Structure 1
Amino acid sequence: MKWLRQLSIYYKINGIIISMLLLLSIIIGFIMMDTTAKLLDQQIEKRGAEMAAYVAALSSNDILLDDNYALFDRINQTKNNTEDVRYILITDSAGRILAHTFAGNLPKGLPIKLSLYPRNEDGYQTMKFSSNEGPIREVIVPVENGAIGYVRVGMSEKSTQQLLSLKLYEFFITTLLVCLLAAMGSTYLAYLIIHPMRNLTKAAQQIQQGNFYVQTEIKTEDEVGRLAGVFNEMIESLKEKDFENNRLLKELRAKEEIRTVLLNKLFTIQEDERKRISRELHDETSQSMASLLAYMKVLLSKLTDENQRVLLLDARNVAINVLGGLRKMAVELRPPVLDDLGIVAAMDKYITNFSNQQGLRVSFFPPDEKLIINNQIALTLYRILQESLTNISKHAYATSVNITLEQDTGSIILRIDDNGLGIRSGAIEAARQKNRLGIYGMKERVELLGGNFTFHSLSGQGTTITVIIPITCLE
């Protein structure tokens, strides 16, 4: 994206304004078309239901008297008087067709069994299907509550599609006109911003060369003019700030030492809180959920109503999923194996679970000898492993990861290699400035232990993260 950084502000302003306008137009257009389509579908369905109810009210006697001619004449007159009606069928209570408006055979794809249709709250049934004559929305109204028969009305969606196409065309033309006006306005806006900014750039270049006596000309009183005034004041204050900066630098170093102590305590408190929450989730919440599942099981054995059993089974499945999520959360907050079996076993188990869940090939190469490290180093290595694998799965698009844990003279070394897209230059500083604590948080953790955190990355060639922590730093 180097070309984007080198692009003029003029093109950036135009591009942003027009892009946002197009995006807004697409969103509004999608919402409008979706809403319009739903409203038209509802109107078609309502008209079909009213027409079917009308025919059903007039046809009950004819169905009882087997007067199929009267039925045929009535449904054909009704169909001919309404443009959107594709067909009308009248069936008896068993589903046998008594009369229909098709000139020949029934179209292919037309459902015959009425049991396939769900009945809504208004008492009629609807179904949308495709036949050899196109998409059809069918409305079924029972005659005498289905005891005598059914009236089935197939509504065509051709007029709806034509109306939607017309509205889409009108919206497209309107969007083009608005974008043209926006381009003209953004061009003028870009000129108003760029011209004084060029003057400020020239003044900044003079300051860079050590000339603190340069001044910028102020022609307007708007935001840009006020910026030029502030710029002039800044030049005056730069002379005084040099001496002040030396004093502040000493204070900053002292505060950095305090910050290091506070961060160390913060990470310690955070891990203690995770451990407490993990224990509460496992000992209290999980036990309560398990008791709830036991009560549900007892209740299932006593229910005789099938619908109630289905609802209770669904509720029990939800509770099982919640219990599984709680246990998984408790383990991720503070894996018991880390305290019981050590860092190698904890990392191996986490890597195995992560690889199975994400479908990512992860290879782990632990040291041959047994590692003896304190709890804080173990926690740091484990959190870095978690954060690194999470970042790889979300952003790297890698297919394989190699993780090596080894012990060198007086140090523990963790190396994580992936074959993903890589990390761009300056990622740690950018993460810190944007309050994204992933990479920056890992670096902070390692530096608090007196260690070294580095990464090497090339675009399209993967990333290598290396963590080196002195084993004796806290002993």
Structure 2
Amino acid sequence: MSGPRPLDPVGALIDPDDEVALLLDVIRLTTTGPDVERLAAEVARIITATTATDVCFVHVLDDSDRSLTLAGATPPFDGQVGRVRLPLGTGVSGWVARNREPVVIVEDKERDPRYVPIPALRGADFTSMASIPMELDPGDLVGVLNVHSVARRAFTGRDVELLRSIGRLVAGALHQARLHRRLAARERSHELFVERVVATQEAERRRMAADIHDGISQRLISLSYHLDAASNAADGDELAAQLGCARDLLGLALDEARSAIGGLRPPILDDLGLAGALDSLARSTAQLPVEAQVTDRRLPEHVEVALYRIAQECLQNVVKHAAASAAVIRFEVTGGIARLEVSDDGVGFDSGAPAGPGPDEAYGLRSMTERAELVGGRLRIRSRPGTGTTVTVTVPDG
């Protein structure tokens, strides 16, 4: 069995004059960004290049804190990154991770009871190794740093301290990179959840619209034909009058069905995108003139749907509550941000007042705010009595 033994200063990794340069290079690497694999690969490369060792492996503690994953390696082992996993306590690296103590093996690794061969890393090709815990603070492990050499090398106490210093520097950067990756994954998971929720809602609206079109609308049209035939064949003024009323009611029902279909899923949103749908919405608001100033730019479907619904709700609020003579819809995408703005010249209200608008308006504002937040956006309202109201929604583009 071979373990730590009296160390030969002839085997020093690096000239003392070059240690500072190496540490400065490592510090520089730790400030280059939150990419765990890239950082680990660069650290492995610079260590082998500077210390004249043959390979370097950087193993990072998994989120489960139960195993190590190879996060960085020098060629030809860089292809094994992400594939090699070691449970804590297994192999030399696993022992170091569990015990938070460095291990130096000068030769005869196979005789060390802690050693477990990993075929993908070809341990038999290398004679000597040093395995060092990477810690933020004593006991706060981030990973394990290993260096190997083909020729026999008696790693010195100074070598171990140098590698521990590198490990401490790298540990902080790797910890921050892991936190960044977890946060990014959580945000992406939230985005996917939102997309699925909105997609499910819109799929249900499509289904309901199709049911109305294929069922209610078709039956009402068929009924209209029968009423026309009955009207032509009937005798008596009273019967004709009743049938005339029936036709009027039927016309209203058809109009309501078409309006419901449009409200569930405006076909123009599928055909022309948000810009075309907003322009159509402006032209179809008969109660007051609405100007549309829109940029023809497609967005993800769930974002287009949310912005269209918000614009629709805004105009409904303007018609019901604002006593406005005109309104404007603006839509543009600049600097990676989609911006929707609906403004009117109506009576306005004190948007900063604690009580806010009335119950109906408050419900509409909550609904619009929730729609904006659901797609990662933000809704802002500017209004003062007598100066009209402007609702602005900003959403990241894509």
With a CA cutoff of 8 Å and minimum separation of 6, indicate the structure with the bigger relative contact order: 2
Structure with the higher helix share, 1 or 2:
1
Structure of higher CA gyration radius:
1
